[in-house]
Structure 1
Amino acid sequence: MPVTTSSPGPVDSVPPASAPVLRSGALGTADIAFFVVSAAAPLTVMAGVAPLAIVLGGIGAPVGYLLAGITLTVFAVGFTTMSRHVRGGGAFYAYITRGLGPAVGVGAALLALIGYNGMEIGVYGLLGSATHDTTHALFGADIPWLPVSLAGLVIIGYGGYRSIDFGAKVLGVLLVAETGILALLAAGVLIKGGAHGLSLDSFAPGNVLVPGTAAVLAFAFAAFTGFESTVIYRREARDPDRTVPRATHLAVGFLGLFYAFIVWTAVQAFGDEEVVEAAGSDPAGLFFSAITTYVGGWAADVMHVLVVTSVLASLLAFHNAINRYGLALAEEGILPKALARVHPRHGSPYRVGVAQTVLGAVVVLVFAAAGADPYQQLLLWVNTPGMLGLLALQLLAALAVPLYFRRVSHREGVLRTVAAPVTAVVLLTTAIVLVLTHLDLFTGASARVNTVLAAVVPTVFLIGLALAGWLRRHRPDVYAGFGAEPGAAVGPEPDTAAPRQPALPHD
């Protein structure tokens, strides 16, 4: 029986009648937004990274987060417009395939696997180190990181095994908690008037146009990583033509405004003259010191605990995204077909989830066996290629949008199909350059290590191009149909476009 959604458009997929499928119509706008905002881990980003942004950019640091949010909002315009026309489960790589061809699409698919896995697996090191720091701060205990990380793998694996609405409910609770503690800090600062009264000097051009702003922008773009994964949940969304764009704009808009507001309140908590010195002397303790002063010591204890739950929420969000990418690629024939199975009761891509959990365990154990530091090496060295891979995917997707709409009949406006994506290409290229030129700030590693980490992205992409060439010669059916699920209705929005199907561009 074919799967349907509440959308008036064509059915997204038509699996065999006997095959279990993803839960259609399980997610609303808020549910999808919970997934993508949780992946960004707002509390962890603020408490762990924002102090470094203040050290580098001074009191103008809040504007860096606003600028990053504006850039990604521009990207989201073309990205979400295309989401109404390309309806397969492959998200990034499906869009890139439709605009740039199957060869580039296969390269993008491998980048997506590396990017999302890198962003998740590295965070198991952060889970171990954050739990160690929290238990030491609260109880004076020193818990080794490895058992915590392995336990996290089991917990997250179970969360991915359960239904998608189960995950949405868990993330909803955790996200409200972590953003709530930051809102509580902000309220305390506003009520007490900050250290010397409230000031808007952070937004003055003279405090924004400083040499350190480039580094702040690099950190700010990294803080949004994962927001684009809204489209991965298309097959499980209610009325996806509306839900997915709304969730995307809601997520990026919330993150941009929330980050800027919280960093500004941190500046007010210490004062314009004192905050840079305070962040430089104790970056890890900046937010805990502020909430102790303006709310109370008990709130600092709660914040310590919520940092750990914030990391767990980020892990679960990325795990679910990876599972759906893996399912789509298994259905395409790129990954083993044995992984293209959905749980008959939970409607989850459980086999991909098991494989991803095993991969995570292997990486964590290898780093542990090598005596690596869970934060400085497991987190930063594995996350960095993942972040670069996702930025590269955003750039490729932005390039694909105008090329796709040149090939199909449609009634979308030029703002959505040309102006916004071309602007996004320029802005995202700038963002990638900023991140690459400040890579040492992300990794704390030597130039040689940074070169290796940066080289992972083009290497994986080239491997993808080589794989595409092999598929074209030896499995032409897989190559020709790449980028659209079997049975997917891939084409323009039914009420705005001509009836013909867009053809895949071939090399």
Structure 2
Amino acid sequence: MSVTTNEPPKEGVPSATAGLRSGSLGTADIAFFVVSAAAPLTVMAGVAPLAIMLGGIGAPVGYLLAGITLAVFAVGFTTMSRHVRSGGAFYAFVTRGLGRPVGIGAALLALVGYTGMEIGVYGLLGSATQDTVHALFGTDVPWLPISLAGLLLIGYGGYRSIEFGAKVLGVLLVAETGILVLLAGGVLVKGGAHGLSAASLHPDHILIPGTAAVLAFAFAAFTGFESTVIYRREARDPERTVPRATYFAVGFLGLFYAFVVWIAIQAFGNDEVVRAAAEDPGGLFFTAITVYVGGWAADLMHVLIVTSVIASLLAFHNAINRYVLALAEEGLLPRRLGRIHPRHRSPYLAGMAQTVLGAVVVLAFWAAGADPYGQLLLWVNTPGMIGLLFLQLLTAIAVPCYFRRVSHREGILPTVVAPIAATVLLTTAIVLVVGHIDLFTGASATVNTILVVTAPLVFATGFPLAWWLRRRRPTAYAAFATEPAE
């Protein structure tokens, strides 16, 4: 059997992203982008208390299960990344495995999904900064100017080079991880509230109805890990860099999330932590770090939550820009969005478009009197989260379909067994997330229905668009998701 590591060069098309700086990112750089998109400190301080409240002391296992599921998915995902070099990542993989109509639907879903995840977080930025200013200075500030300033800051970060973004994210990620490690050290040294316990791992605390809710929160916390592949063209030695960054991101997030949630449980004790989480979910981690480290650490954590949100925004912004670049290359978006800045070598017009769109959405929610956290963040993030989970599912299905049609020397484990297992696990995850969507949004049944059906409707739009392209723009349709010319 012959070796096929990429599609034949004759299928290549001129690359609109050829101006990106090739070979500028290493494993650590890409991992910083991906882990920063997950915003570990924000997830822990803002979401983990809710997971504990609903799932009890078995909550850490939910994060481990989510990490294991996505590690299984990553086996087929990274194997296929050695054969498909397109910057479109998800939609390119889906196209190669399931055909162009499905791939075009996946492309729209990726664009809307990542955009929703980014824009919604500007509401979190406004809300988190409000809380931080109030906690530190006792002053109330409006959220809109904060969110708009964040839009400009993130827009500038995307305008600068990818190396600039990697350096910024590296510093922010180390800082936010450091404060959680500091909390963990304090709890471990003092032995927790009543001594350290492994009760979180006991089946009696895992096999309960609330675990389903924990899994929903946990899968949402990993959103964005798959974006390692979209940096392939800018990676040094992508055959090694992309898989390493993917496994590092999944492994780090899964273990770190589970460990920190366990630490929070030890800080209050097995019998008291659920009540503490229910009484003050937003203050759970601040109370813990005040007791075990000191008030100064709580003040620092307030500041680092804001920088954690900024890191998440910058990581998502760069990921979206590269999807826009890829779609401009495909001809599905205006070609001008694929322009590269002559000095910074960044996709600056794609970034500007994202900034303008974000400002429009933020201003619309403000004009409607919406809450920045409960509505701008949760209502805009929810369709994005569901869309990205659906994309992962489509990609898992596409992997074995692709390898059935090409010559390769990959084993059956990464090309068949792992993708099928990932398909089953991701289907379960989607059912759990949709079934507990009210825990994310706190909205009415009507609003939740709209949020849930948005992703399938966006995906379905790809089929008439594919039909239109095939009839009216056959060249663009034929070139969709083919390998870029080097």
Range class of TM-score, shorter chain = over 0.9
Q: Specify the code of the residue in structure 1 equivalent to 2:444.
A: S
Structure 1 residue aligned with 2:372: 374
Taking the TM superposition and a 5 Å limit, the aligned residue runs for 1:149-188 are 149-188=147-186
Taking the TM superposition and a 5 Å limit, the aligned residue runs for 1:183-202 are 183-202=181-200
| Structure 1 residue matching 2:228: 3-state secondary structure | helix
Q: Does 1:452 align with 2:450?
A: yes
CA distance in 1, matches of 2:320, 2:115: 7
Q: Specify the code of the residue in structure 2 equivalent to 1:354.
A: M
Q: Specify the code of the residue in structure 2 equivalent to 1:304.
A: H
Q: Specify the code of the residue in structure 1 equivalent to 2:223.
A: T
CA distance in 1, matches of 2:483, 2:134: 49
Structure 1 residue aligned with 2:99: 101
Q: Specify the code of the residue in structure 1 equivalent to 2:240.
A: R
CA distance in 2, matches of 1:447, 1:439: 10
CA distance in 1, matches of 2:447, 2:311: 29
Whether contact under 8 Å (2:85, 2:484) holds in the other structure is no
Structure 2 residue aligned with 1:290: 288
Taking the TM superposition and a 5 Å limit, the aligned residue runs for 1:343-382 are 343-382=341-380
Q: Specify the code of the residue in structure 1 equivalent to 2:314.
A: L
Whether contact under 8 Å (1:15, 1:21) holds in the other structure is no
Pick the aligned partner of 2:49 from 51, 57, 64: 51
CA distance in 1, matches of 2:400, 2:7: 22
Q: Specify the code of the residue in structure 1 equivalent to 2:204.
A: G
Pick the aligned partner of 2:137 from 136, 139, 145: 139
Whether contact under 8 Å (1:13, 1:88) holds in the other structure is no
Structure 2 residue aligned with 1:329: 327
Structure 1 residue aligned with 2:317: 319
Whether contact under 8 Å (2:17, 2:329) holds in the other structure is no
Q: Does 1:461 align with 2:459?
A: yes
Structure 2 residue aligned with 1:239: 237
How far did residue 481 of structure 1 move?
Answer: 1.2
Higher helix fraction (1 or 2): 2
CA distance in 1, matches of 2:457, 2:210: 31
How far did residue 347 of structure 1 move?
Answer: 1.0
CA distance in 1, matches of 2:154, 2:146: 12
CA distance in 1, matches of 2:285, 2:483: 46
**4+ aligned runs moved over 3 Å, structure 1:** 7-16
Q: Specify the code of the residue in structure 1 equivalent to 2:102.
A: V
Structure 2 residue aligned with 1:385: 383
CA distance in 1, matches of 2:141, 2:73: 42
Structure 2 residue aligned with 1:270: 268
How far did residue 285 of structure 1 move?
Answer: 0.2
| Structure 2 residue matching 1:24: 3-state secondary structure | coil
How far did residue 484 of structure 1 move?
Answer: 2.4
Q: Does 1:205 align with 2:215?
A: no
Q: Deviations over 1:140-167 (max 9, x none)?
A: 1111000000000000000000000100
Structure 2 residue aligned with 1:428: 426
CA distance in 2, matches of 1:436, 1:56: 16
Q: Does 1:128 align with 2:145?
A: no
Pick the aligned partner of 2:60 from 52, 59, 62: 62
CA distance in 2, matches of 1:118, 1:84: 29
Q: Deviations over 1:84-109 (max 9, x none)?
A: 00001110000000000000000000
Q: Specify the code of the residue in structure 2 equivalent to 1:206.
A: D
CA distance in 1, matches of 2:118, 2:328: 20
Structure 2 residue aligned with 1:299: 297
Whether contact under 8 Å (1:89, 1:485) holds in the other structure is no
Whether contact under 8 Å (1:327, 1:340) holds in the other structure is yes
Q: Does 1:23 align with 2:7?
A: no
| Structure 1 residue matching 2:480: 3-state secondary structure | coil
Flag the 1:9–1:96 CA change in 2: closer, same or farther, 3 A.
Answer: closer
Q: Deviations over 1:285-307 (max 9, x none)?
A: 00000000000000000000000
Q: Deviations over 1:261-295 (max 9, x none)?
A: 00000000000000000000000000000000000
Whether contact under 8 Å (1:230, 1:248) holds in the other structure is yes
CA distance in 2, matches of 1:142, 1:62: 35
Whether contact under 8 Å (2:158, 2:346) holds in the other structure is yes
Q: Specify the code of the residue in structure 2 equivalent to 1:481.
A: A
Pick the aligned partner of 1:476 from 474, 477, 481: 474
Whether contact under 8 Å (1:125, 1:149) holds in the other structure is yes
Structure 1 residue aligned with 2:146: 148
Which consecutive residues of structure 1, in runs of 5 or more, have no partner in the other structure?
1-6, 489-507
Structure 1 residue aligned with 2:70: 72
What TM-score, normalized by structure 2, do the two folds share? 0.97
Q: Deviations over 1:311-338 (max 9, x none)?
A: 0000000000000000000010000011
Structure 1 residue aligned with 2:111: 113
Whether contact under 8 Å (1:20, 1:341) holds in the other structure is no
Whether contact under 8 Å (1:189, 1:268) holds in the other structure is yes
CA distance in 1, matches of 2:65, 2:55: 13
| Structure 1 residue matching 2:223: 3-state secondary structure | coil
| Structure 2 residue matching 1:21: 3-state secondary structure | coil
How far did residue 14 of structure 1 move?
Answer: 8.0
Structure 2 residue aligned with 1:502: none
Flag the 1:13–1:468 CA change in 2: closer, same or farther, 3 A.
Answer: closer
Structure 2 residue aligned with 1:86: 84
- Range with bigger deviation, 95-104 or 459-468: 459-468
How far did residue 123 of structure 1 move?
Answer: 0.3
Which consecutive residues of structure 2, in runs of 5 or more, have no partner in the other structure?
none
CA distance in 1, matches of 2:473, 2:396: 29
Q: Deviations over 1:178-203 (max 9, x none)?
A: 01000000010001000000010000
Percent of counterpart pairs with the same letter? 78
Flag the 1:19–1:55 CA change in 2: closer, same or farther, 3 A.
Answer: closer
Q: Deviations over 1:43-87 (max 9, x none)?
A: 000000000000001000000000000000000000000000000
Q: Compute the RMSD of aligned alpha carbons.
A: 1.7
Q: Specify the code of the residue in structure 2 equivalent to 1:343.
A: H
CA distance in 2, matches of 1:211, 1:354: 45
How far did residue 340 of structure 1 move?
Answer: 1.2
CA distance in 2, matches of 1:214, 1:323: 34
CA distance in 2, matches of 1:125, 1:202: 33
CA distance in 2, matches of 1:397, 1:359: 28
Whether contact under 8 Å (1:331, 1:485) holds in the other structure is no
CA distance in 1, matches of 2:76, 2:454: 28
Q: How many residue pairs align between the two structures?
A: 481
What TM-score, normalized by structure 1, do the two folds share? 0.93
How far did residue 367 of structure 1 move?
Answer: 0.6
CA distance in 2, matches of 1:478, 1:283: 51
